[in-house]
C-alpha cells in the first residue's frame, strides 16, 4: 500500500512539472482566450435581451481587456495574445478601442474578433442578424 501511495505522489509531481510545458506548447491559453471572448459576447447578448436595451461589449486591443456596459471589472486576456477586431465604423472609439453592440431583439452590429498566438489563431464571428456567436479555427 505504501508503494502505491509513493507512485501516486511521484505521478502527481511529474504532472505538475510537465503541465505548464504541455499547456504552452499546445496553445491551451489561446483556445481558452477564444472561449473567454465568445462567452463574453454571449453574455452581452443575453444582457441586452433580458434588460431590453442596447448593450455594447467594448474591446481595448492595447490592454487586451473586454468590458460589458454596466460592469466595473473588465475581463483581462493574456498579454502575449494578439487581437484584431472587425466591426462597424460607428462602434470605433479610437484605433485601439471598439465595440460590438447587441440589441434587445438579439441582433447585433456584427463583427469578428481574431485571437492569435504565433501561427495559431481563432476567429470568433458574431452574426449581425441573429447575434449568434461562433468560434472558427481556420486551417493553417
Q: Would the pLDDT of 23 be above 50?
A: no
Phi, psi of 105 (to 5 degrees): -85, 5
Residue located via cell numbers 504565433: 118
| Cell numbers standing for residue 69 | 456596459
Question: What CATH number is attached to the domain comprising 102?
Answer: 3.55.40.10
Structural domain span for residue 132: 2-136
Specify the pLDDT at position 19: 52
Q: How far is residue 58's CA from residue 140's CA, in Å, rounded to a whole number?
A: 29
* 43-53: average pLDDT: 95
Domain tally, the chain = 1
Amino acid at each position: 500500500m505504501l508503494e502505491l501511495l509513493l507512485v501516486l505522489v511521484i505521478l502527481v509531481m511529474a504532472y505538475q512539472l510537465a503541465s505548464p510545458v504541455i499547456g504552452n506548447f499546445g496553445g491551451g491559453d489561446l483556445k481558452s482566450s477564444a472561449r473567454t471572448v465568445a462567452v463574453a459576447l454571449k453574455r452581452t447578448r443575453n444582457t441586452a435581451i433580458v434588460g431590453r436595451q442596447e448593450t455594447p461589449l467594448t474591446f481595448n486591443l492595447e490592454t487586451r481587456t473586454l468590458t460589458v456596459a454596466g460592469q466595473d471589472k473588465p475581463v483581462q486576456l493574456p498579454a502575449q495574445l494578439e487581437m484584431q477586431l472587425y466591426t462597424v465604423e460607428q462602434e470605433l472609439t479610437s484605433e485601439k478601442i471598439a465595440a460590438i453592440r447587441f440589441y434587445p431583439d438579439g441582433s447585433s452590429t456584427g463583427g469578428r474578433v481574431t485571437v492569435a498566438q504565433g501561427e495559431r489563431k481563432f476567429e470568433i464571428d458574431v452574426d449581425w442578424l441573429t447575434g449568434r456567436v461562433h468560434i472558427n479555427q481556420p486551417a493553417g
